[in-house]
């Protein structure tokens, strides 16, 4: 089975622009979470979605939004990009029957804002 | 709120040396605890986990024991290899308001010299 996939792999945007990142969870997994990892730091929780509903939100501004589709894939949108949004954005999926709260991470999308 | 504190790096060891990376946590509930590893240019891989007090997680020669009394989850390996060079993240996951979130430590970079 394929693991968690994310697209694009790399992205360069200019300040003020908008970006959409995509994630496909492991087949059968219904929960997707998004994390931001700034260089040299640990990942920070942004959102969790389960069955197309938001179930958790981290301490990020309203410029960050997400949604989950009927096939459980997800998009993360960031508006009005700032230089500080430059980071590796990680998606993780969790499925029923896996180890308690055990998440599987994708390779990430590296966003550079210039 | 919940938090994870792990020892600062970098940690530099010679091949076959003993490894300990300290991790302590603060949580209001009964979290699951994890160690993730991140190799250069890659996403996060789950290394081991423990879901309740006194559980020992182990994988690839790495071990960590969930110590509720000291709120710790220290990572150990008896004999490190050059291929173990990576960044190691301690993390906890707990349920909150119908969803869950994972809190990561800042990461500890390990260099193993041949």
A77 beta partners:
A20, A65
Mean pLDDT value of segment B76-100:
87
Measured CA to CA, the distance from residue A54 to residue A51 in angstroms comes to 8
Smallest CA–CA distance, residue A28 to chain B, in Å, is: 18
Measured CA to CA, the distance from residue B106 to residue A82 in angstroms comes to 22
Burial (CB count within 10 angstroms: exposed 0-12, middle 13-18, buried 19+), residue B105 = buried
| pLDDT at residue B96, as a whole number | 62
Band of the pLDDT at B64, cuts 50, 70, 90?
A: very high
| pLDDT at residue A40, as a whole number | 86
Mean pLDDT value of segment B21-34:
91
Tokens of B66: 């969930």
* Pair type for strands B108-113 and B32-38: unpaired
Smallest CA–CA distance, residue B43 to chain A, in Å, is: 4
Evaluate if residue B43 carries a pLDDT over 90: no
Backbone torsions φ then ψ of A107, nearest 5 degrees: -75, -15
| pLDDT at residue A100, as a whole number | 57
Residue A25 near chain B (CB below 8 Å): no
| pLDDT at residue A103, as a whole number | 84
Task: Kindly report which listed range (A83-87, B67-71, B79-83, B94-98) carries the lowest average pLDDT score.
Answer: B94-98
Q: Which of B34, B42, B106 sits opposite A41 (nearest CB)?
A: B106
| pLDDT at residue A98, as a whole number | 52
- A13-44 pLDDT per residue, tens: 999 999 999 999 999 888 999 999 998 899 99
Residue A100 near chain B (CB below 8 Å): yes
Residue A102 near chain B (CB below 8 Å): yes
Note whether A105 and A89 are within 8 A (CB). Answer: no
Band of the pLDDT at B111, cuts 50, 70, 90?
A: very high
Evaluate if residue B99 carries a pLDDT over 70: no
First-to-last C-alpha distance (Å) of chain B: 41
């Amino acid at each position: 089975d394929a693991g968690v996939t994310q697209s694009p792999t790399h992205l360069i945007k200019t300040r003020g622009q908008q970006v959409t990142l995509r994630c496909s969870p492991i087949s059968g997994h219904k929960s997707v979470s998004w994390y931001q990892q700034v260089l040299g730091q640990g990942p920070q929780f942004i959102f969790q979605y389960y069955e197309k509903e938001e179930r958790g939100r981290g301490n990020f501004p309203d410029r960050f939004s997400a949604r989950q589709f009927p096939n459980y894939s997800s998009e993360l949108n960031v508006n009005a990009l700032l230089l500080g949004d430059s980071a590796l954005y990680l998606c993780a999926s969790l499925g029923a029957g896996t180890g308690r709260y055990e998440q599987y991470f994708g390779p990430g999308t590296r966003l550079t804002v210039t | 709120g919940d938090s994870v504190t792990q020892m600062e790096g970098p940690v530099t060891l010679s091949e076959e040396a003993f490894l300990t990376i300290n991790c302590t946590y603060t949580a209001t509930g009964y979290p699951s605890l994890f160690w993730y590893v991140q190799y250069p240019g890659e996403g996060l891989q789950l290394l081991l986990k423990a879901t309740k007090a006194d559980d020992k997680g182990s994988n690839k020669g790495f071990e960590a024991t969930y110590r509720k009394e000291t709120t710790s989850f220290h990572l150990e390996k008896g004999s490190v290899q050059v291929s173990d060079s990576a960044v190691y993240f301690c993390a906890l996951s707990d349920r909150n308001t119908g969803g869950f979130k994972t809190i990561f430590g800042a990461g500890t970079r390990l260099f193993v010299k041949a």
